[in-house]
Structures are given as structure tokens and as C-alpha cells.
Amino acid sequence: MPSPSRSTPGDKQPLKILMLHGFTQSGSLFHAKSRALTKHIQKNFPLHEVVPVYPTGPIRLDPADIPGYTPSEGADGQEKDQAEQMEAYGWFRRSNAGNPPLYLGLEDGLASVAEVLRKEGPFDGVIGFSQGAAMAAMVASLLETGRKQAFDYFSSDATIASKGFDVPDNKPVAGFTFPPSFDSSFHPPFKFAICYSGFRSPGPRYRAFYERPALQTPILHVLGSLDAVVEESRSRALIEACAGDPEKEGRIVNHPGGHFLPSQRPYLDAAVRFIREELDKTNQPGDQVEEDVNDMDVPF
């Protein structure tokens, strides 16, 4: 039986996209919230079979982990029942005690994504929302050629990792070590990434994801002007970590909404256009050129 990640003669070529949900979500919930986007991608890539894969983060969250959660009044066991019914997960937890910030469970989150890449890859690209967008950028970084050397550099000496950062009591912080789950060339670099309400992991601890060199994977950044969850400065920090000039290259899209995936046509078209441009760069001579169905003279 042919691998699901590769095409056979007469079949549509697969376009596999890793879909990473936000904090307090799950794979199934993100599937529901991103259907307009994936349907629009499929419509505009008629020669492909679009295969979005929705893993769920390994960290099951308690009610106390969820911003704004207020337990219902009732019996003592009711809150426990509510917790058991909740389908809220994350890729990591931000420690409130950590200064500079510490992402608890990040190794487990990365390992769970690595397992999906191994079992269901190769993937052409990744799309993430909020915490999932932060993970998308980090995973894309780990798959880039030569990235391990950056981790070796920043994790070898805390003074080097902390240079240029304000750290409490002038105590240097060592850099995050390269995760063992990615310690082999088991998956090619992503051809593209789309980050909705994404952000850079803060502080000196995680700078190897973004420096020496800057992020090489082409990333489209989609930001909501009314986003009250992820501050624009955090998203801008991720943008600034990308190679080239994302602003001049048209890789920043602003929508007049809040913390969600915009489903209006212009923003869906922007994602499709970006994916097409990046896939076209990797097409081999003789490959079929995929037309935009909106330009086809066919009565759909």
C-alpha cells in the first residue's frame, strides 16, 4: 500500500499541513475553528489533496490554568467533574515564578510534535494559532539545517546566552538545549509556516530558536489589531526574528479583529497566495502549474 504522504500515478499530489492549536484548545476544536481556512486552501489547490493533521498538545490543563475560568457553585466534587469534562490542552505552560520566563513541559510538547512528524510526515508546512503559532515557529526552526549549532552555542555558556538581556540579580541564564526528539535529520525543513497571533518565546533562554541564524523558514504572520491576548510587541518580536524583511516582502497581514483566525475572504486569499508562492519556489521543471480556481474558466 502506498504511503499516504506520497502520491501515486493518477492520484492528486498530497499537500500535508501540520495544524497546531492554541492554549486551552485541542486538535478537534482547532479543526472546527479552521475549517473555513482549510476548505479555502483545498478549493484553490484542485490538483492537490489537502491533508491537514491536527494533533493535540500533551499537557491536559486544569481549570486553574485557564485564564478567566470561574468554577461553578455547587457540591465540592463539581469542580473536579468540570475539569474532567474539559477538553483543554497546551503545548507548554508558562511558569509565573520564572524570571526570565520558563516554559514548563516544552520538551514534552516538542517531542509530541516530533512523533507526529515521524509517523505522519513529511509535511509541506505548518499552521499555528497563538501558542500553537509559537510552537510552529519553534518546530520550523528545529527542522532548519544547522540549527543545532545555535543551540550548542547558547547552551554552552550562560554568560553568552544572557548577553544583551536584563537578568535578575545579574545571574546569567543558560540557553535551552537542543531537544533530543529532533536530534536527527528525520524530516525536511518546512516549505512554509503561517502564524496566527504568534509570538517569540521571551528571554535569553530560548534565543537559539531565533538567532545564529535568524529564522529561515518563510513565515506569514497574521495579526489582529484588536487582539487583547497576545500583545503586538510579542508578535513583532517573532517577526523581527525572521530572515529578510517580512514587512517589505508582504509577509505580515493585519485584520481588524481580535484573537482568532479571520475567515473573511481577503485573509483566506492571503494565506492561499502565500502557500502558492512558496510551493512554486520548490516546483521541479516539468511539474504541473496549479491555477487559482478563481481564475479558471470553469463554472464551479
CA distances from 175 to 41, 100, 136, 150, 292 (A): 38, 11, 20, 10, 44
* Mean model confidence pLDDT for the chain: 88
- Identify which has the larger pLDDT, 281 or 79: 281
By CB atoms closer than 10 A (0-12, 13-18, 19+), residue 174 is middle
5 pLDDT band, cuts 50/70/90, is very low
- Which among 67, 57, 156, 64 is positioned nearest to 115, based on CA atoms? 57
Specify whether the CB–CB gap between 177 and 157 falls below 8 A.
Answer: no
Return the SS3 of 90: strand
* Residue 296 belongs to some domain of the structure: no
Greatest Cα pair distance, the chain, in angstroms, is 68
Q: Is the pLDDT of residue 290 over 80?
A: no
- Separation between Cα atoms, residue 209 and residue 143, nearest integer Å: 10
% of residues, the chain, pLDDT over 70: 84
List phi, psi (to 5°) of 152: -60, -40
- Separation between Cα atoms, residue 149 and residue 155, nearest integer Å: 10
Most confident of 78-87, 130-139, 182-191: 130-139
Q: Is the pLDDT of residue 6 over 80?
A: no
* Residue 254 belongs to some domain of the structure: yes
* Residue 250 belongs to some domain of the structure: yes
Specify whether the CB–CB gap between 99 and 149 falls below 8 A.
Answer: no
| pLDDT tens digits, one per residue of 153-162 | 999 999 999 9
| pLDDT tens digits, one per residue of 221-270 | 999 999 999 999 999 999 999 999 999 999 999 999 999 999 999 999 99
- Indicate yes or no: pTM above 0.85: yes
- Determine the structural domain holding residue 282 and report its residue range: 13-291
Cell of 19: 495544524
* Residue 2 belongs to some domain of the structure: no
- Output the pLDDT for position 117: 98
Specify whether the CB–CB gap between 14 and 5 falls below 8 A.
Answer: yes
Domain count, the chain: 1
| pLDDT tens digits, one per residue of 103-130 | 999 999 999 999 999 999 999 999 999 9
168 pLDDT band, cuts 50/70/90, is confident
- Which among 254, 255, 268, 214 is positioned nearest to 238, based on CA atoms? 214
Q: For 10-14, 42-46, 119-123, 254-258, which range has the lowest pLDDT when averaged over its residues?
A: 10-14
Q: For 17-26, 175-184, 191-200, 288-297, which range has the lowest pLDDT when averaged over its residues?
A: 288-297
- Which among 142, 123, 146, 131 is positioned nearest to 91, based on CA atoms? 131
- Output the pLDDT for position 94: 93
* Residue 152 belongs to some domain of the structure: yes
Spell out the residues 6+ positions from residue 108 whose beta carbon is closer than 8 angstroms to its own: 58, 59, 92
- Output the pLDDT for position 184: 83
19: CATH: 3.40.50.1820
* Residue 7 belongs to some domain of the structure: no
Specify whether the CB–CB gap between 72 and 174 falls below 8 A.
Answer: no
288 pLDDT band, cuts 50/70/90, is low
Cell of 231: 500583545
Rounded (10°) angle between helices 265-282 and 35-44: 50
* Residue 5 belongs to some domain of the structure: no
